[in-house]
A and B are shown apart, each in its own frame.
Chain A
Amino acid sequence: MSATAHAPGHGPGQDVTKRDFLKLVAGASAAIGVGAIAWPMIDSMNPSKDVLALSTIEVDLTPIAVGQAIVVSWRGQPVFVRHRTEKEIQEAVQTPESDLKDPQPDAARVKPGHAEWLVLVGICTHLGCIPLGNKPTDPRGEFGGWFCPCHGSQYDTSGRIRKGPAPANLPVPAYAFLSDTRIKIG
């Protein structure tokens, strides 16, 4: 190889590392470019501003008699509001945590001083069905709470998973008591 065939700094040896560097820089820039173009498309599928903006709802508790439950819609999801009987509360409180798949005391799932009110997101933690148990005619499972008709998960009177394929308790949404008979969810 004659020296004139190569511009200064492009001789054999040097050439290899410089080319490799340029290839890596070009490749990395292209990858970043593709990522920068792809991200807006991927993120456009995430919840949009109007969906996120869905605010809070208020629920009046006066029409719900002891033992009854209602379903309200919040962010497109069903929320169960149940007025528990004294027996149901006792069952929930006295269940030893060793019996639970997702251990949580009943006190952590209700507001202090309002143990009779149980507020839950009514979506089975297995695959998203709505468990039965709000109407008096519904099956409530062996633990007196809710029974999911899809794959047979059973929840107790605190909404905790007791039997079946679901991995976790029914979640308690963020809510607060505005007065003794009114709550705000969200």
Chain B
Amino acid sequence: MAGLYKSDVKNPILNWIDSRLPVVTMMQREYGSFPTPKNFNYFWAFGGLAMVNLMIMIATGVFLAMAYTPNTLMAFDSVERIMRDVNYGWLLRYAHANGASMFFIVVYIHTFRGLYYGSYKAPRELPWMLGVVILLLMMATAFMGYVLPWGQMSFWGATVITNLFSAIPVVGESIVTWLWGGFAVDNPTLNRFFSLHYLLPFAIVGVVFLHVVALHITGSNNPLGIEPKGPQDTLPFHPYYTVKDSVAICVYFIVFAVLVFFFPNYLGHPDNYIPANPLVTPAHIVPEWYFLPFYAILRAVPSKLGGVALMFGAIMVLFALPWLDTSKVRSTKFRPIYRIFFWLLVISCVTLGVVGAKPPEGIWVPIGQLATAYYFAHFLLVLPILGKLERPRPLPESISRPVLGGGPLPSGVPAKPMEKA
């Protein structure tokens, strides 16, 4: 029996498989008995929600692709045919379009949870950085997906975003021509965007796998930001967190259903129901809501290269975040001064989102510049300096202590009785 894995699985068929490919054991170890901090709040459900959302996007997308035609002459009409003639086509398309919005809501909350509770700090730098890669891939996928219906916003969004690369000195124009496959956004562009829009989600699946593997090496962070000291601080993932995540998934589906069935076009733009016209630019070009903060950063400086560099820099700075934050204390719960700056960051991001939706004139220009300045100052000035100056509140001895009494009870941690693992 050399080379076979010694499986404890009772079922003979599963045991036969598990001895040769220990997937049952792996699932049991990583999602069954996996020791998980016992003090998670509902913000820890958003990783699982993102996973569910990714599966929904791939499933609806595969079936939409069966009815969609990636040709400039037929794309718009094929989408209308999906809406009117294909059985449940309207449901698939509205679920896919609003699913993209839900995906960004979930992922942005997941990201800000990581920021608030210091989940990016050692030893979890790689889960964080892989997460930023996932965000970049999501943005590329969402952008190319929005081009496929070939409406006015599709066409002009594609034109503006691909032209960002023309800001690169010397080779910029050649890169843009290469991206387009012509001298303007046209049929070759639509074809390749469809190909890549189908490919990238599977790249996302791959990076998500690495993100989760790296997370399961270090174990999850928790609202207190201190490591579990022993079995009294953890619970097996199943049934405790499978059930807790299920509650979150139900709430998520309620919100999703309200969007799909009652406000399916609320987050879209009416101009995208006008077929693409390469000779007329709509009066106000705005990207989808989830790109608005980045769009505002792009327009914050009156320089083409400067704006593009700042916009990409806004994401790139996140890669350096684990080393920019000099504080050893993870949870913002114990960092009274940083908490103020955290909320200033949230406000600056929301402000950028509002500014991105407005025409670039009047009072919106200085407001956008101020919010952009704070965004970068937060990461490049506040985090490195504050970590050295701030005196954090005392950390609890262990996760169990504040829950079972004895230690100071940090606000926000529910003191509910929990069984030991």
Contact = CB atoms under 8 A, between A and B. Distances in A.
Interface residues of A, number: 29
Contacts of B163: 126-128
Contact of B159 (A42, A47, A128, A152): A128
B378 interface: no
B281 A47 contact: no
Interface in B180-209: 180-184, 186, 188, 192
B409 interface: no
Contacts of B304: 126-127, 165-167
Given A71-B279, A149-B284, A152-B360, A127 B183 contact: no
Contacts of B280: 130
A164 interface: yes
A78 B156 contact: no
A126 B184 CA distance: 14
A152 B178 contact: no
Contact of B188 (A51, A123, A166): A51
Q: How large is the interface on B (under 10, 10 to 19, 20 to 34, 35 or more residues)?
A: 20 to 34
Interface in B299-315: 299, 302-304, 307
Nearest to B305: A167
A95 interface: no
A90 interface: no
Contacts of B177: 46-47
B419 interface: no
A19 interface: no
Interface string B62-96: 00000000000000000000000000000000000
Nearest to A163: B302
Given A45-B178, A165-B302, A129 B278 contact: no
A47 B181 contact: yes
A29 interface: no
A48 B360 CA distance: 37
B160 interface: yes
Contact of A46 (B160, B164, B178, B186): B178
A148 B159 CA distance: 14
A129 B182 contact: no
B283 interface: yes
B182 A78 contact: no
Contacts, number: 86
B181 A51 contact: yes
Q: Which of A130, A150, A166 has the most B CB atoms < 10 Å from its CB?
A: A150
A76 B283 contact: no
A76 B182 CA distance: 9
A91 B188 CA distance: 41
Contacts of B179: 45
Question: Which residue among A71, A78, A164 has the maximum number of chain B CB atoms within 10 Å of its CB?
Answer: A78
B248 interface: no
Given A46-B177, A46-B181, A76 B285 contact: no
B150 to A, nearest CB: 14
Contacts of A47: 177, 180-183, 188
A76 B302 contact: no
A75 B180 CA distance: 13
A151 interface: yes
Given A51-B181, A164-B302, A150 B285 contact: yes
A104 interface: no
A128 B183 contact: no
Interface string B282-293: 111100000000
Interface string B143-169: 000000000000010011011101000
Interface string A45-64: 11110010000000000000
A181 interface: no
A155 to B, nearest CB: 14
29 contacts: A46-B177, A46-B181, A47-B177, A47-B182, A48-B188, A51-B181, A73-B278, A73-B279, A75-B184, A76-B278, A77-B183, A77-B278, A123-B184, A126-B304, A128-B159, A128-B162, A128-B163, A128-B166, A129-B281, A129-B285, A130-B279, A131-B281, A150-B281, A151-B299, A151-B360, A152-B359, A165-B303, A165-B307, A167-B303
Given A130-B279, A164-B302, 18 more contacts: A47-B180, A47-B188, A51-B183, A71-B279, A73-B278, A76-B183, A76-B186, A77-B278, A126-B163, A129-B159, A129-B160, A130-B281, A131-B281, A149-B281, A149-B282, A151-B299, A151-B360, A165-B302
The 5 closest A-B pairs by CB, nearest first: A128-B163, A76-B184, A127-B163, A130-B281, A129-B281
Interface of B: 156, 159-160, 162-164, 166, 177-184, 186, 188, 192, 278-285, 299, 302-304, 307, 359-361
Interface of A: 42, 45-48, 51, 71, 73, 75-78, 123, 126-132, 148-152, 164-167
